[in-house]
Amino acid sequence: MAADTARVDFVAHRPAVKESTVRYIGSIYRPPSEAQSLIIQATVGCNHNKCTFCGSYRDKRFAIRGIDEIRRDLEEVRYMGPVDRVFLADGDALCIPQRRLLEIVEAVNEYIPSVERIGVYANAGNIQKKSLEDLKALKERKLGIIYLGVETGDSELLEKICKGATYDQLVQAAHKVKEAGILLSVTVLLGIGGVEAGEKHARETARILTDMDPDYVGALSVMVVPGTPLHEEYVQGRFRLPDPFGLINELRIMVNESSFTHCVFRSNHASNYLPIKATLPEDKAQILRAIDRVIESRDERKLRPEFLRAL
């Protein structure tokens, strides 16, 4: 179900269900953890679409799909069998005005009564535009998880990659999601600071993860996508990718210097050289020992082969 056209933290989705006429506009991306979910496209593209590393939505003009279109898609899948998870694509369904978004999640519940959890991507700005009561109303209608791209905790780097949010705004957004009782999953990007700023990026990312205290963290490795501003920097020699062990060292710093109440921390995305899955803080010592063995050995045979890495 994966495809190599996806953004660095997304995987393209082709529903493994019976033939239907559900309509998807352009390439569709979802978090790896939503691999078995039904994907319903609520928006086309991303309403921010300025991150320098991301090429996923540059060929799409942003739009919010009409409720009648969404209902037609839901009608197509209502008899395909029990569905417990639904993911609302594209890049940031939480940007949809609250009244319309309530209509959409209510329609999901109406057509798919077996649904247990609805998920969405979000950015910090659109989380902040929702009141706490708005988020709780969505939670009551089974919006159970929000995926937030953090990428880095380095304030200068956040501005450089055009993330559209400051350190404090990201932390405030995380706290609001958690206060609403919705699971929070964040992604961070190994290597986004390049060779020069790698360790600073890793330490500041550990700091923001500690301040956010999310339920899930996904660490991915940046891959330079042609057609993006980051690719232009790379071609011009203004951005240098760390080598595999440099990326793994960043991962070690993030695991070692972050502190969580209870967090599932993964680096098992296809972009990464060293897949790990840990529950922190319980597994911290064990995971650090495993990472150290790889770094000390400098043995590339212990890493995911280059030909198996993908966006």
What is the set of domains in the chain, with CATH numbers? 11-308 (3.20.20.70)
pLDDT for the residue 20: 54
Segment 190-241, tens digit of pLDDT = 999 999 999 999 999 999 999 999 999 999 999 999 999 999 999 999 999 9
pLDDT for the residue 219: 97
Which pair of structure tokens corresponds to residue 274?
Answer: 């060293």
Residue 32: which pLDDT band, with cuts at 50, 70 and 90? confident
Give the mean pLDDT of 44-51.
Answer: 93
How far is 283 from 169, CA to CA, in rounded Å?
29
Segment 84-117, tens digit of pLDDT = 999 999 988 999 999 999 999 999 999 999 999 9
Which has the minimum average pLDDT: 20-29, 50-59, 212-221?
Answer: 20-29
* Full-model pTM: 0.91
Percent of the chain whose predicted confidence (pLDDT) is above 70? 94
The residue that leads in pLDDT, 305 or 141, is: 141
Which has the minimum average pLDDT: 11-15, 171-175, 221-225?
Answer: 11-15
Residue 2: which pLDDT band, with cuts at 50, 70 and 90? very low
Q: Identify whether 154 is preceded by a cis peptide bond (ω within 30 of 0).
A: no
pLDDT for the residue 78: 87
Is the pLDDT at 4 greater than 90, yes or no? Answer: no
Residue 79: which pLDDT band, with cuts at 50, 70 and 90? confident
Q: How far is CA 230 from the centre of its chain?
A: 19
How far is 205 from 167, CA to CA, in rounded Å?
10
How far is 146 from 283, CA to CA, in rounded Å?
24
Order of strands across the sheet with 38-41? Answer: 38-41, 85-89, 117-122, 143-151, 183-190, 216-221, 263-266, 277-280
Give the mean pLDDT of 49-66.
Answer: 91
How far is 27 from 130, CA to CA, in rounded Å?
27
Give the mean pLDDT of 165-194.
Answer: 98
Residue 11: which pLDDT band, with cuts at 50, 70 and 90? very low
Give the mean pLDDT of 269-295.
Answer: 95
Residues in contact with 232: Cβ distance below 8 Å, sequence separation at least 6, in sequence order: none
Give the mean pLDDT of 13-19.
Answer: 42
Please provide the average confidence, as pLDDT, over all residues in the chain. Answer: 91
